Amino acid sequence: MKHYIGNGCTVESMPYEKTKACMVAEKAALLNSEQCEDAFFIADLGDIVAKYKKWRRLLPRVEPFYAVKCNDDYGVLKLLGDLGTSFDCASKFEIDKVLNLGLPPSRIIYANPCKQTSFLRHAAKRNVDLMTFDNEAELLKVKAVFPDARLVLRILPPSNFKVQCELGMKFGCHPSKAKQLLEKAKELELSVVGVSFHVGSGAEEAAAFAVAVEQAYGVFQTGLDMGFPFTLLDIGGGFPGQVTAAISFEEVVAVLNPVLDHYFPASSGVRIIAEPGRYFVASAFTLTANIIAKRMVARDKSNDEHLPDQVVTGDDEPASMYYINDGVYGSFNCLLFDHATVTPSVLQDGSDMTFVSSVWGPTCDGLDCITEEYRLPEMQIGEWIYFEDMGAYTICASSTFNGMPRPRIFYLCHDVVWAQTYCKQTKKVDQPISKVIPFMKAGHDIFETYDQVEEVFGSPRPELI
Ligand code: PLP
């Protein structure tokens, strides 16, 4: 549990890496003054920019195609698109989202091996011709609807490594069956241009990437021997997006770069792309929710009505149940679908007294539990609880079950990020944002929409990065 506010800490005195929590406090205070208690996200644009820079620096040979499914917020897509990433789309609607940003179809891979025929027709109409496949029926579909497509054979990743979300049970041709599938593609006169894999979302062992690249190399050789003009390797997603992940991005690249250089050296001319999702957005989004109800429950009595009264738990500390206005049917769907774990933090000044607490969502379903047991200080209705690292597989899969609204997204931009990324002027500016844009607060501002960010700053400029 973290206490950032209090003890003389002000937003202005915070170093940049701590501003996230301060921003939450500032925005929550503003909403309190407006008598607004709705849950909200703060998307730290600087975090996304920093991830982009890190990718370019540590994995320079690999072009990122951001997986739109992970978080399709307009601000995320616009920022990443302007920085220079391309996109992995899974459907017609994701394709349109990306094309509507004004990006060319060449910046898209349609990376869903099992596509709806009408979506495939749509891809053909909009010239999105790079796409994955992993089965014969898909080849027949492509032949009928989009025979000029450039196909990428998705193979199964190795199955003996730990991952947060496995994908191999649904997608991927076993490497030993690749030749057969390629023969079918040849018979249909389809163009297969390379190989892809996805080690699983949230890889927990960096070595998985090395084994998968080695397997991809084998299939690559098979394709080349069969006369296919293979020029593309797609190493999928699975890259960690937050510091609490089981492995770090640095650990992945330490394994990946040598193996790529060994099997696919720059001299081979092979284009290497990836489909990172959570890497870019997980840590950028902080979710803050309001305590809308509260209950104290005695823990010294068993709750089981079939047991006699004198059966006690042996623990005389009371426990609190807090009900907040986002839950597993909303942003916390990640607990079910993404096998995520979340950690509540509080905004109040540091009290050392904490109590066993559970945190629940707002719907009438008993399943709607966010944390079953966590130590929190005593909180009151109307206070805020926030959760960091909520950018991946949260917003995109949330519902409005029970009529509960989705949280709004606000955008945080800090002067450091502004000067290094967006600056409208031709040279980098070292002055604080408040000096250049006088109506802004010292050091940062929180925007209601991403369009407002662009109105003030202009578009991000990759050449500044
Ligand atoms: N590519 C494909 C085909 C996926 O299915 C996914 C996630 O499920 C991704 C990329 C993104 O994975 P991650 O968020 O782990 O990087």
What is the spatial distance between Cα 92 and Cα 219, in angstroms, rounded to a whole number? Answer: 29
Cα of 210 to ligand 1 centre, how many Å? 18
Q: How far is CA 105 from the centre of its chain?
A: 22
Residue with tokens 């593309």: 232
Ligand 1 neighbour 277 (Cβ under 6 A): yes
The string of pLDDT tens digits covering residues 367-379 is 999 999 999 999 9
Q: How many CA atoms lie less than 13 Å away from 24 in the CB half-sphere?
A: 28
**Do 387 and 350 form a contact (C-beta atoms < 8 A)?**
no
**Do 151 and 193 form a contact (C-beta atoms < 8 A)?**
yes
**Do 108 and 130 form a contact (C-beta atoms < 8 A)?**
yes
Q: How far is CA 330 from the centre of its chain?
A: 16
- Residue 403 DSSP label: G
- Global pTM reads 0.91
Catalytically active residues are 364
**Given this model, what pLDDT does residue 22 score?**
81
At 2, the pLDDT band (50, 70, 90 cuts) reads very low
**Given this model, what pLDDT does residue 123 score?**
98
Cα of 191 to ligand 1 centre, how many Å? 24
Dihedral through CA 207, CA 211, CA 214, CA 215, nearest 10?
-160
Ligand 1 neighbour 201 (Cβ under 6 A): yes
pLDDT at 410 over 90: yes
Fold of the CATH domain 2-280: TIM Barrel (3.20.20)
CATH topology match: 2-280 vs 289-303+311-412? no
Both tokens assigned to 298: 């005695």
- Residue 105 DSSP label: G
The string of pLDDT tens digits covering residues 230-279 is 999 999 999 999 999 999 999 999 999 999 999 999 999 999 999 999 99
Least confident of 116-130, 132-146, 253-267, 436-450: 436-450
Domain 289-303+311-412: homologous superfamily in CATH: Lyase, Ornithine Decarboxylase; Chain A, domain 1 (2.40.37.10)
% of the chain beyond a pLDDT of 90: 72
What are the φ/ψ torsions at residue 373 (nearest 5 degrees)? -150, 120
Residue whose Cα lies nearest atom 6 of ligand 1: it is: 237
155 vs 164, residue with greater confidence? 155
The ranges assigned to domains in the chain are: 2-280, 289-303+311-412
Cα of 276 to ligand 1 centre, how many Å? 6
Average pLDDT value over all residues in the chain? 88
Q: What angle do CA 221, 224, 230 make, to 5 degrees?
A: 100
Ligand 1 neighbour 234 (Cβ under 6 A): no
> Distances in Å between the alpha carbon of 278 and those of 28, 283, 389, 390?
26, 8, 10, 10
Residue 78: Cβ within 10 Å count:
19
Ligand 1 neighbour 115 (Cβ under 6 A): no
pLDDT at 199 over 60: yes
Report the chain's C-alpha Rg in angstroms: 25
Question: Which of 85, 173, 198, 389 to mutate for ligand 1's pocket (most ligand atoms within 8 Å of CB)?
Answer: 198
